[in-house]
Structure 1
Amino acid sequence: MALHKLLVDDFYDDTYKLIAIHCGLEDYRLAYLLNQSLELNLKRKSKDLDFEYLTSSYSIFEWNNVSQFVTWNLVSNVCKKEEESLYSTGLFQTNEKVLKTFNLVPEYKRVDYFIKISDEIQNVNEKLILDKLQNIPQIVTSYSVNPIQLKSKDHLIF
């Protein structure tokens, strides 16, 4: 009798495009500008992405375009959290507040936001989207990222 081996990785084949955005805007302002320039309808989800048992949370906006079978997500890559830490100098200990920074995708620490485009029919023109993003004056730069090469690509499954 022959043995058959199934690999779990074969079952998950989510094809999506990933665009990195560098800008200093708040998440709601960037979502508004993307809605205007790309003719989207991004809305904030009721729950943020939480990782490592509430250590960090990332804002996420979503729009499901049913007519074109495309789901758009705008997700923050940076979470800044203020934590208390003990600081000791000799005999005395004091509590200080320290600002810690967490990243959704640690390989791209300088990226502020990611746009994830999940399209079933592969009809989204990525070059056209990048051109429109470059025309937004508040965005410093944007570029395409290959999600297959990411070590932390599991963080982008939502």
Structure 2
Amino acid sequence: MAVHKLVLDAIDEDLFTLIAIHCTLEDYRLAYLLNKFLGITLTRSASDIDFQNGTLTYAIYEWEDCKQQTIWSLVSNVCKTEHYREGSTDSLFSVQEKTTKINHLIPEYKTVNYFLKIDNEFNLSKEKYILNRILKIPQVATAYTIESTQLKSKDHLIFS
């Protein structure tokens, strides 16, 4: 009996540019400054990115550039959740302890505060221009591009 083998030569991967942004600003403030410095119009999405049935949510701002046919997404990498548990004390009254747990959208980049994902791969000069404009924002500590091949959890960057 003959064995038939199917080989997939070229699988189209999603082409995107991913920029990591380190800053301590609130998400709405960073979106405003990116709009101002890059000349884009990021707006808050109607719903956040939802993981684990609503227990983890990440804020997302999006803008669709119809001329370039690209979608720009600014997403928070940090989600803080608070949990209350009964404290074990030898007291007459029950004491609740509040603990805060920090979760990350992309766990391998825990120091990154925000990601700017652009759903179109730019040439190197356009990418450098965008990075230089972001680095001109005084509140941004640093920003750099991340290769999509370096990401273990790139599935978390699928927003639609």
Both structures adopt the same fold (TM-score exceeding 0.5): yes
TM-score (norm 1): 0.88
1:99-153 C-alpha deviation (Å, 9 max, x unpaired): 1111001111111100001116x45711111111111101111111112211111
Match in the other structure for 2:69? 69
Name which of structure 1's ranges 13-22 and 144-153 shifts more when overlaid on structure 2: 144-153
Match in the other structure for 2:18? 18
SS in 1 for 2:46: coil
Q: Could you tell me which amino acid in structure 1 is paired with residue 47 of structure 2?
A: K
SS in 2 for 1:74: strand
Q: Could you tell me which amino acid in structure 2 is paired with residue 48 of structure 1?
A: D
Question: Is it true that 1:143 corresponds to 2:147 in the alignment?
Answer: no
Find the aligned partners of 2:148 and 2:16 in 1 and give their Cα distance.
8
**Residues 5-154 of structure 1: pairs in structure 2 closer than 5 A:** 5=6, 11=11, 13-89=13-89, 94-119=95-120, 122=122, 125-154=126-155
TM-score (norm 2): 0.87
1:22-74 C-alpha deviation (Å, 9 max, x unpaired): 11111111000000100001011000001122221000001110111111000
Find the aligned partners of 2:100 and 2:82 in 1 and give their Cα distance.
4
SS in 2 for 1:142: strand
Find the aligned partners of 1:5 and 1:90 in 2 and give their Cα distance.
68
Q: 1:33 to 1:90 in 2, by over 3 A?
A: same
SS in 2 for 1:75: strand
Overall identity of the aligned pairs, in %: 49
SS in 1 for 2:32: helix
SS in 1 for 2:87: strand
Find the aligned partners of 1:12 and 1:46 in 2 and give their Cα distance.
29
5+ residue gaps, structure 2, are none
Find the aligned partners of 2:105 and 2:97 in 1 and give their Cα distance.
26
Report the number of matched residues: 155
1:88-109 C-alpha deviation (Å, 9 max, x unpaired): 2468863211111110011111
Larger radius of gyration: 2
5+ residue gaps, structure 1, are none
